[in-house]
Amino acid sequence: MKILVTFKSVPDPYAGAGAAAKSVINPFDEIAIEEALRMRERGEATEVVGVTIGPAQVDEQIRSALAMGIDRALRIDDSRALDPYALARILYSLVTKEAPQVVLMGKQAVDDDSNQVGQMLAGLLGWPQATFVSKIEFLDDKKRARCGRETDSGIEVIAVKLPAVITADLRLNEPRYVSLPGLMKARKKPIETLTCEQLGVKVEPLTTILSISSPPRRPSGVRVTSVEELIAKLKEEAKVL
Amino acid sequence: MDFAWSDQQKELLAAVDRFVKEQLNYDMIENDRNAVFNHDAWKKCAGFGIQGLPVSEEYGGLGQDPLTTVAALERLGYGCKDNGLLFSINAHMWTAIIPLIFNGNEAQKKKFLPGLVDGSLIGGNAMSEPNSGSDAFALATTAVKKGAKYILNGSKIFVTNGPIADVLLVFAATDKSKGAQGISAFLVEKEFPGLDLSHKIEKMGIRTSPMGEVFFEDCEVPEENLLGKEGAGSWMFTRSMTWERGSILAAHVGTMQRLLETCIRYANERKQGGQSIGKFQQVATKIVEMKMRVERSRHALYHYGWAMNHRKAVYMEAALAKLEISDSWVKCCEDAIQIHGGYGYMVEYEIERELRDSLGSKLYSGTSEIQRNIVASLLGL
């Protein structure tokens, strides 16, 4: 069984404020990669192919994914700011070419939080989708997958026929760190570069980002000297009592 | 000299930085108090690739050069507070793995190196004896050839990793009349009859690194476990000692960097007399001295690594690095306690342990006095 796992390069969400924004693999995608690797280690998957869309700079994240253990990587060379539908269409053409049984993705990227590409890709492919997944088991000789979905009211368990698109939630697993032997092996693994033209897909973003602004900085607090003062401030200044 | 890292080195060092954020430091106070070796962290380090840094890929290692190896260890020390674990790893790498790489035959390398690299085997060496320390080659332990076996008799002291070792490199006299030229090295496996590894020794510091006394009573060692040729032991020991001396404290350049940062943070946070204590010149001066020591130590370490990459005779650089880093480490720990005042003396603050851990560095792998002797003799004195 072949698994296609997608990943996006995002600014490190754990970098301290003011630190130079280093790029990392989107944490949810890292979870998807980990799950694919575990499927291969359990003997359920035979090949794990990673794919990302971006300019040559994202090769660093591709090498991280290769060092984690994916078998090979594809980069669709495109430096435009593409929207979820455009990304889904590119992935659609790639999925038809690679023909995996499962497409594993992070539920969303932590930079734009759009949470749409997996759903749109499943729609374009006409495949079932299991989103926000925290547990995956294969059933019926890998003809179906049983997936636990994290919803506000609890875990919803569904079964999807394969091939399917599955998107990973936070609790699916804890990704491994890159080991030095993994890093050395990654240097010998191939990174294939493709263009939208080669894939025969023409996309233009339908959405344009007009502006991004950071939330206002929280003003520093004040120290109160008594409970009375605290209550007075909560009533008069914060107006929460 | 060029210490600018290549892209591949940067990538490797960044991976170490990420790895050390993993859990290597849990239960430190308890483990130190009870002298417990953290086997789980040992395996994590091996799985990550630390023990195999200088071992060629053929045997499961990473084939890194000495400079890259010590730089990676420096970063490990920055993140890992378990100095005992680091000491065990170092003993394993420099006194078991390195002699095997240089002197082992193909069968010996194939048998031991992959396990020593992946952490399933723990190695060490047994050289010092109750009456043979700095006078290293005056060994009382003997090895007598009988048929296809050597029979070892004697005892060894201060054997790092002894109580947990799977394989020890043991130095013994095969021909006492030849002095240093009559010493041979043997790969002694824990199952060999006549070997007793059960005697633990309790230490002041690096308590999480098990150390023991080792006894040989007609211990049978098959001849295929002789490392190198008969009589080559002292030469072998001197050669691997250069690696050991120069590299064994690499991690503690990272330790000092961490201590420096801890002290800067504390000096900024702690207020006395209405100002941060870092504003008091006497505190600031201590921190500046710490910074100078870290930089000198790092330079001495990289200079040694660079020299190892470029030529064979690095006795001077190795001895200087050992001296500089051990002196600096002890002094940094003293200053860190002084800056933290009474809190620094308390176990909970985890600084007093650093001082206890640091003191041994002036004793093991050749005392500071022996290092100075080496430097003096290389200077023609």
Q: Name the residue among A63, A177, A184 with its Cβ closest to that of B18.
A: A177
Query: Rounded CA gap, B96 and B111, in Å?
Result: 13
Instruction: Give pLDDT, residue A40.
Output: 97
Determine which of A57, A60, A184 to mutate to test the interface with B (most B C-beta atoms within 10 Å): A184
Q: Is the dihedral of CA B119, A177, A136, A61 positive or negative?
A: negative
**Structurally, how many domains does chain A consist of?**
1
Residue B134 CB: number of other CB atoms within 10 A? 12
Query: Rounded CA gap, B329 and B323, in Å?
Result: 10
Contacting residues for A123 by C-beta, under 8 A, at least 6 apart: A88, A129
What residues of chain B lie within 8 A of the CB of A61, using their CB?
none
In a domain, A132, yes or no: yes
Reported ipTM: 0.83
* β-bridge mates for residue B222, sequence order: B149
Contact: B12, A183; criterion CB under 8 Å = yes
Contact: B11, A181; criterion CB under 8 Å = no
Q: Give the CA distances from residue B353 to residues B21, B79, B81, B347, B349, in Å, rounded to whole numbers and listed in that order.
A: 21, 16, 10, 7, 9
DSSP label of B129? B
Give the chain A residue whose CA is nearest to the CA of B23: A177
Are the C-beta atoms of B282 and B354 separated by less than 8 Å? no
Give all domains of chain B, ordered by start, each with its CATH number: 7-122 (1.10.540.10), 124-231 (2.40.110.10), 249-378 (1.20.140.10)
The answer, yes or no, to whether residue B9 has pLDDT greater than 70, is yes
Contact: B15, A181; criterion CB under 8 Å = no
Contact: A177, B60; criterion CB under 8 Å = no
In a domain, A226, yes or no: no
Question: What range defines the domain where residue A66 resides?
Answer: 2-209
CATH number at residue A68: 3.40.50.620
Per-residue pLDDT tens listing for chain A (241 residues): 999 999 999 998 887 666 667 899 999 999 999 999 999 999 999 999 999 999 999 998 999 999 999 999 999 999 998 999 999 999 999 999 999 999 999 999 998 899 999 999 999 999 999 999 999 999 999 999 999 999 999 999 999 999 999 999 999 999 998 999 999 899 888 899 999 999 999 999 898 889 888 888 888 888 899 999 999 999 998 888 8
Q: What is the pLDDT of residues A180-230, one digit of tens each?
A: 999 989 988 889 999 999 999 999 989 888 988 888 888 888 889 999 999
Contact: A67, B15; criterion CB under 8 Å = yes
Distance (Å) from the C-alpha of residue B337 to the closest C-alpha of chain A? 29
In a domain, A18, yes or no: yes
b/e map B360-371, b = 16+ CB within 10 Å: bbbebbbebebb
Distance (Å) from the C-alpha of residue B65 to the closest C-alpha of chain A? 14
- Of the candidates B1, B83, B62, B134, the one whose C-alpha atom is nearest the C-alpha of residue B248 is B83
**Main-chain phi, psi angles of A51, to 5 degrees:** -140, 140
In a domain, A16, yes or no: yes
Active site residue B22: no
In a domain, A104, yes or no: yes
Average pLDDT in the B64-79 region? 96
Query: Rounded CA gap, B341 and B349, in Å?
Result: 11
| N-term to C-term CA, chain B | 28
In a domain, A215, yes or no: no
Q: What is the pLDDT of residues B174-229, one digit of tens each?
A: 999 998 999 999 999 999 999 999 999 999 999 999 999 999 999 999 999 999 99
Q: Name the residue among A177, A178, A181 with its Cβ closest to that of B62.
A: A181
In a domain, A165, yes or no: yes
Q: Name the residue among B8, B18, B49 with its Cβ closest to that of A181.
A: B49
Distance (Å) from the C-alpha of residue A11 to the closest C-alpha of chain B? 16
